Homo-oligomer: A and B are copies of this chain.
Amino acid sequence: MHTVAARAGVSIASASRVLNGLGGSAETVRRVREAAAAVGYVPNAIARSLQSQRTGLIALAVEDIGNPVYVAMMRAIEAVVAESGHQLLVHATGGNVAGETALLRRLAHRYVDGMIISPIRVTEAHVAALTASPVPVVVVGQLPEDVPVDNVRADSRTGVALAVDHLVAAGRTRIGFVNGPLDTVPGAARDAGFRAAMARHGLAVEPAMVEVGDFQYAAGRAAAQRLLARAEPDAIVCANDLIAVGALHALLVTGRRVPEDVALVGMDDTELAQMSFPQISSVSLGSAERGKLAARLLLDRIADGTLVPRREHVAPSLVVRTSSGGVQ
């Protein structure tokens, strides 16, 4: 900038104004533009940030970037965020509490203008870090009622019910369930949802028909194998699509036909569900929609920090595919 101003024979103030499109005489504008082009001037993002108190960065923190559900969410967020001139900084937290709270605390350094975080567990430490954060944060997922933070949530309880209802309507009664860890927010909600839905249909939940692993493919496959070794379900509900793909493998490798022998329903409605064969029915929890909403909430709050905390809900819906008897 200094160089540009000197070369154009004006003050650095004038140069700055011209380069930012604010006023200037025709002659000044011309000379500054010319000088800038000549020396290949490019504004320094850091210095600009120091002055503007904004970095133009928005962080997204999710457990596992390999899970397609987060890819879908990320794409939706990226679209909104890019439109506002921000860039997305992605953190993979691995789902551990220490890492997530450390991340939240680091927000105090103001290296980003805001953060969207989807914690899989919510602890006291989370809440403390969340409320103490000097930069706006939006939480995707459940959150205690009294935490004054913008929040968008799915309804996975109802989502599981959708799956169970669908299977019961199709005549299935021996319905198994492969879940993720019960000490996670989604794990607990999906467990409760499954039991409530089964009870509503007057179906008993046999312990042998329920397995818990991780929200991952390998764990889902192993959990399904354990379940199939001791029970004969005519349908299996899985707590997400990664688990469902693992369960599909366990079913097919043991010679079971899907959906003829065992119907299968996953959750999150990711690309994986469509890419499997047979294609897997899945409960959409509106991941893209949640991402879009979260991004909007965040941008709104960045623009006006005095807003009252908002809470958005996204309704689940069932996408029926081959694995539960839908068309190919």
* Chain B residues, Cβ within 8 Å of A42: 108-109
Chain A residues 42-73 with CB under 8 Å of chain B are 42-47, 49-50, 55-57, 65-66, 68, 71
With CB as the reference atom, state the residue of chain B lying closest to A41.
B108
Q: Which A237-251 residues have a C-beta within 8 angstroms of B?
A: 245-246, 248-249
CB-CB under 8 A for A74 and B78, given A46-B50, A275-B249? no
The residues in A between 158 and 188 inclusive whose CB is less than 8 angstroms from any CB of B are none
Chain B residue at minimum C-beta to C-beta distance from A109: B45
What number of copies of this chain does the assembly contain?
2
For residue A88, CB closer than 8 A to chain B, the reply is yes
Report how far A27 CA is from B57 CA in the complex, Å.
40
A33 within 8 A of B: no
A271 within 8 A of B: yes
A235 within 8 A of B: no
**Residue numbers in B under 8 Å from A110 (CB-CB):** 44-46
Known contacts A46-B111, A50-B50, A88-B90; A328/B245 CB under 8 A: no
Q: Does chain B have a CB within 8 A of A75?
A: yes
Interface string of A242-280 (1 = CB under 8 A from B): 000110110011000000000000000001101111000
Among the interface residues A88, A111, A272, which one has the most CB atoms of the partner chain B within 10 A?
A111
Q: Determine the distance from Cα of A89 to Cα of B276 in the docked complex, in whole angstroms.
A: 31
Q: A307 within 8 Å of B by Cβ?
A: no
Decide if A87 is an interface residue (CB 8 Å cutoff): yes
Looking at the complex, which one of B43, B108, B271 makes contact with A66 (CB distance below 8 Å)?
B271
With contact pairs A245-B275, A272-B275 given, residues A55 and B66 touching in the complex (Cβ less than 8 Å): no
Chain A residues engaging chain B, CB cutoff 8 angstroms:
40, 42-47, 49-50, 55-57, 65-66, 68, 71, 74-75, 78, 87-92, 108-111, 217, 245-246, 248-249, 252-253, 271-272, 274-277, 328
